[in-house]
A and B are shown apart, each in its own frame.
Chain A
């Protein structure tokens, strides 16, 4: 009892301050750098064909219709995940959920900003690092710059986006972010060797 009370008094006043998982963590190995990216606004968007044009207009980015592609404009990226499913990421603080709310056509937009953590993997050994747990072909022919796909890394599901020929954005669920970062850290050491 006394112990519990002592522990309690040591805690600062309750706050609603946001504490992102793994905030600011970084790792550098030969040929590859991992960095946890700052928080971003994200939505999971489902919509039928008929709604895509109106949603693209409201979001200010054309929702891609081709498998494994993405579209980006003014800090906002739309990733094709399925025939009627997109992940929209906004890195400049404009909430895409608010933009979708103004659209009257049929769609489902769910805010998942806090659900995901993004990790950037950059450097000449970036593809080799991700390939240590991801079975997809990440050569530039099969997975060009701008390609995006939901896939797996080790035991967990990730969304992978190629932002440059030697840079990837790995999106994973917050509760898996520890696993993903440690997995990539180990892989970075192996990829460098």
Chain B
């Protein structure tokens, strides 16, 4: 079983307590009505789906119930780090294969 560190509970918890909530850092337009169809399509449907490092939202559903962000490697499924919702993308990743 994967252990995922919840930044609010400040410890690693079993994966069964968590839910994935899609890609992180996708900003919703403040004026949705003025968004062009092309831009809306990009915002709403188009996801990066990379091979490698991905930034995701996760929710500690059966724990503190908070959303947070996680950096995960889609090749190894390894969680590189997690950080609280609203915080910027981390500049440096621990243990990243570079």
Contact = CB atoms under 8 A, between A and B. Distances in A.
Contact of B64 (A135, A136, A150, A152): A150
B66 A82 contact: yes
Contact of B9 (A68, A85, A152): A68
Contacts of B16: 135, 152
Given A67-B9, A82-B8, A135 B14 contact: yes
B72 interface: no
A81 B62 contact: no
Q: How large is the interface on A (under 10, 10 to 19, 20 to 34, 35 or more residues)?
A: 10 to 19
Interface in A23-52: none
A157 interface: yes
A151 B13 CA distance: 10
A152 B62 contact: yes
Nearest to A155: B16
A23 B8 CA distance: 36
Contacts, number: 38
A83 interface: yes
Nearest to B13: A136
Contact of A82 (B1, B14, B65): B65
B11 interface: yes
A116 interface: no
A149 interface: yes
Given A149-B63, A151-B63, A135 B1 contact: yes
Interface in A138-193: 149-152, 157
A4 B9 CA distance: 55
A48 to B, nearest CB: 14
A7 B47 CA distance: 60
B29 to A, nearest CB: 28
Interface of B: 1, 8-11, 13-14, 16-17, 62-66
Given A68-B11, A135-B14, 15 more contacts: A67-B64, A81-B65, A82-B64, A83-B8, A83-B64, A83-B66, A85-B64, A135-B1, A135-B16, A135-B17, A136-B13, A136-B14, A150-B62, A150-B64, A152-B17
Interface of A: 67-68, 81-83, 85, 135-136, 149-152, 157
